[in-house]
Amino acid sequence: MTESFPRQKAATRSFRLGAPRNFAIKPTGDAILFLRNATGRTATTDIWLAEKSNSLWSERCLVKSAHISLGGDIPAEELARRERMREVTEGVTAYSTDKVFTKITYVLDGELYVQHLPQQLNEAIEIPTHIHTGGRCIDPRMSPDGNHIAFVQDGAVFAVDVKTEKVSRLCGPTEAEESVSWGLADFVAAEELERMRGYWWEKDSQSLIVERVDENAVDTAWIADPANPLAPAREHRYPFAGTANAEISLHLVTLNGVIQEIPWNKLTHPYLVTVNTSGSATTFSVLSRDQQDVEIFSLNGSVPTLIQTRNEKPWHTVAPGVPTLNDVGQLIEIRPLNNVFRLCVDGEAVSPVEIQVTGVLATNGDITYIGQSETTNQHIYSIEKGQLSSRENNESLNSGVREGDLLVVAHSNFETTTTLYSLYNLNEPATPVSTFTNNAESPVVTPNVTVETTGKINLTSAIIWPENHVAGTKIPVICAPYGGPHHARVIASGLSFCSDQWLANQGFAVLVTDNRGTPGHGPDFEYSIMTDLATKVVQDQVDALTELGERHPDLDLSRVGIHGWSFGGYLAALATLDRPDIFKAGIAGAPVTDWALYDTAYTERYLGLPGENPEAYEATSLINRANKLDRPLLIIHGLSDDNVLVAHSLRLSSALLAAGRTHSVLPLSGITHMTTQEIIAENLMLAELEFFREHLK
């Protein structure tokens, strides 16, 4: 009997298990480290080593997590960090090496390990050294010279001498300080500013740049598990829109115990956005609370020098890899110029005008970056060599890692559900020199995706029909958008549409539309939602649906449902409430229902401060619309969600009940913003299917 797709998706954690990731290329070009699960259903992750002999590459396992695990508990701070990173695996989830790859360090179940890396092909792999730190180690990082390992434990930063295994406390809160931590990214940075780290080694290997976080002024939320009434509620510092953020400072900390604060005006620029130690000098950037004013500094010891200021309205777009200095001291940025996100060197645009640049991979030598030439296409480019990733005519999605002339590329397209991981030598880029084994399972469904554009603003939509659809047969439609900033759903990846295809195969046409506010179309398209997260996103969904319905009469526009998660959950509920003439049923997963209940950095970026722009918060609230509900609505929420708190759904449910509006609520005990538990993840898909079958008859 063939396994069902919901069961397979749940068991493989959305097919993420088994795929290689976290590639690091040795500067000499003869070895590559990466992470991979043994199978597509093995949750624990191992460290792998690819080695070159003559022109051939081979792979072998360097660290097998299950063989060395001591079974310790993962620290709560690490679990929170993994939640911010959307990490779904177990075992070794990250590693760090010295600059020339002689040693590697990693943490497993809170225990710290270090071992020497093989320097010759097929050299024996040594048994890792377990360094005793008390089992609460977080985010270990090897110094560039390989002599020390820094790590975070109980809110303090420690360093261990690799030779002597002596552990020293470098910095941390005093006994009198509560809600203060060193070395971990603050909540806002990790959740909304794409910065997951809180400390960085300097090139001299004698000092570190360390973030200090003081959360005393931040409101306390309480995360409880009502299904386990004897378990105490968990304290969670959460910066609600318009309230106090954590107080952030940056410090130069040396191995011999000297701590010096790195000053900037925190009153005008409270957000620490980036720290980068890879260029000719260490840089960091800070952002004003309205996220329009950016200051970029270089560092000489603990002394900052302001090297650039930017005012970008309506907001500054944070992108990976920038701002930074390259090896000759030029400032590398991504800037919105004439409705194009351009790669800039010392303020001068150097990327083609037809490419929307989304991130930078490498800056030393030939600058390498990620960009979109069309909304569904993403490629890797460099200044000197142009497009580096696939030059095939078909649309594709590419990301990668570059070191010197070697480039690892992760490649997918609409036609396949398997990502191909290949190694290229850019001196001979026509064909890959090696392909990495991908243990991820192939889905039991094969998506058939049709991409179309609609309207004057060229909205991009994907239509997924049932595999056995007979032309001329009208079928109900389910819209499946995300619709929010920073995430487009219509991308050249067959794997991204497997759940949509399974749902379509149950007798529906699934429609995915990227409305205004989503990335890929340029700054104006993204900025158009400023001060209004409601009107345009719903109107775009309706406009695309209507035009596609005219083109494809088999789309039965009298039977349309909508579902989504997170912002997609907000959009699904919003559309159900505002346009009952179009949407006959909605499923809202983990929806934001009142933007005043969401965090500062995300919400204020688009709506401003609640005290200064209360109309925007009123106009985007689902709770204020509760009396408008005329269609079936199912609300789903994880009770342990520390990103979109369950209070959102509970308050909406209360408002609906007060208005006399019948609705359904499905609480998920012990579930966070991610649904990784197999049985729950599987049955959740089946519950949604049953809801649509009942209400879109």
In a domain, 679, yes or no: yes
What are 386-418's pLDDT values in tens digits? 999 976 667 899 999 999 999 999 999 999 999
Residue where a domain terminates, one of 143, 166, 189 = 166
The pLDDT value given to residue 428: 87
Q: Is residue 2 domain-resident?
A: no
Helix (H, G, I), strand (E, B) or coil at 27: coil
210-253 confidence digits (pLDDT tens): 999 999 999 999 999 898 999 999 999 999 999 999 999 999 99
What's the whole-model pTM score?
0.96
* Predicted confidence (pLDDT) per residue in 177-214, tens digit: 999 999 999 999 999 999 999 999 999 999 999 999 99
* Tens of pLDDT, residues 566-608: 999 999 999 999 999 999 999 999 999 999 999 999 999 999 9
Q: How far apart, in whole angstroms, are the C-alpha atoms of residue 344 and residue 348?
A: 5
How far apart CA 46 and CA 35 sit, in angstroms, is 6
Query: What H or E segment, with its residue span, contains residue 685?
Result: helix 678-695
Q: Residue range 639-652: average pLDDT?
A: 97
- Total number of domains constituting the chain: 4
Residue with tokens 């499923």: 587
Tell me if 13 is assigned to some domain: no
Do residues 109 and 127 share a domain?
Answer: yes
Domain harbouring 204, CATH code: 2.140.10.30
331-337 and 324-325 as β-strands: parallel, antiparallel, unpaired?
Answer: antiparallel
**Residue pLDDT, tens place only, 484-507:** 999 999 999 999 999 999 999 999
Q: What share of the chain in percent tops pLDDT 70?
A: 99
Cβ–Cβ < 8 Å for 47, 95: yes
* Residue 299 clears pLDDT 90, i.e. is over it: yes
Average pLDDT, the chain: 96
**Within a domain: 586:** yes
- Is the domain of 152 the same as that of 229? no
Q: What is the pLDDT of residue 409?
A: 97
User: Which pLDDT belongs to residue 124?
Assistant: 87
Q: Give 462's strand partners.
A: 451, 512
Query: 621 near 653, Cβ under 8 Å?
Result: no
Number of H helices, E strands in the chain: 12, 44
CA distances, 186 to each of 33, 109, 194, 305, 456 (Å) = 29, 22, 11, 24, 41
Do 362 and 488 lie in one domain? The reply is no
Strand partners, 129: 114
- Same domain as 414, residue 299: no
Which amino acid does the sequence have at 189?
Answer: A
Domain-embedded: residue 476 = yes
Shared domain for 515 and 643, answered yes or no, is: yes
Last residue of a domain, one of 150, 166, 182: 166
Task: Give yes or no: residues 458 and 606 share one domain.
Answer: yes
Q: What is the pLDDT of residue 392?
A: 66
Do both 212 and 155 map to the same domain?
no
Q: Which residue has tokens 């971990």?
A: 184
Q: What is the pLDDT of residue 88?
A: 87
Query: What's residue 504's pLDDT?
Result: 98
Q: How many CA atoms within 13 Å lie on the side-chain side of 279?
A: 26
Note whether residue 10 is domain-resident. no
Residue-wise pLDDT for 118-139, tens only, equals 998 888 898 899 998 888 999 9
Q: Kindly report, residue by residue over 64-92, the tens digit of the pLDDT.
A: 999 998 887 888 888 888 888 888 899 99
Q: Which CATH number covers residue 577?
A: 3.40.50.1820
Residue type, 63: V
Instruction: Supply the pLDDT for residue 637.
Output: 97
**pLDDT above 80 for 1:** no
Confidence of residue 691 (pLDDT cuts 50, 70, 90): very high
- CA dihedral 203→207→211→212, nearest 10 degrees, is 180
The DSSP code for 164 is: T
Q: Do 123 and 224 have their domain in common? A: no
- 356 shares a domain with 454: no
Residues 6+ apart with CB under 8 A from 690: none
Return d(Cα 13, Cα 15) in angstroms, integer. Answer: 5
Is 235 a domain residue? yes
Q: Which of 406, 439, 472 is the last residue of a domain?
A: 439
Q: What is the pLDDT of residue 361?
A: 97
Domain with 199, as residue range(s), is 172-318
Is 572 in contact with 562 (CB distance < 8 Å)?
Answer: yes
In a domain, 488, yes or no: yes
Q: Clarify whether residues 515 and 648 are in a common domain.
A: yes
Does one domain contain both 543 and 678? yes
300/240 same-domain check: yes
